[in-house]
Amino acid sequence: MPRYTLNGTTAEDLVAYLKRLGSDGDRGVGGTEIAVAAVVPGSGQLAGIGSVVGRLLSAHFDRVNRDGGIYNRQIVLKAPRSTHRAPRWMRCSG
């Protein structure tokens, strides 16, 4: 392992951080599930793209969950639909 020279304050900060590691929880990670958020377009000309993206993500996570999930946790997709329209320059003209 490499050797590092730390000043007193940095060493104290590192020790405090290491003590917290076991008790800090990560948002979206629970004992039985992992929540993954994705924003997909919900209106306007990009609505179809959003539904395709949502279906692709759901299908992928379903496959991962069938195989046991991630460390025995199921992946749950949280995908609120966006109500904003794409900027004019992004819209299809046709």
Task: Give the helix, strand, coil percentages of the chain, each rounded to 5.
Answer: 40, 20, 40
Asked if the model's pLDDT at residue 77 lies above 60, the reply is: yes
For the entire predicted model, the pTM comes to 0.55
Q: Compute and round to an integer the Cα radius of gyration of the chain.
A: 21
Kind of pairing between the strands at 81-82 and 74-78: unpaired
Residue 5, amino acid = T
**Cβ 34 vs Cβ 61: under 8 Å:** no
**pLDDT digit string, tens, across residues 24-47:** 777 788 889 999 888 776 655 555
Residue 35, amino acid = A
The full set of domain ranges for the chain reads 26-85
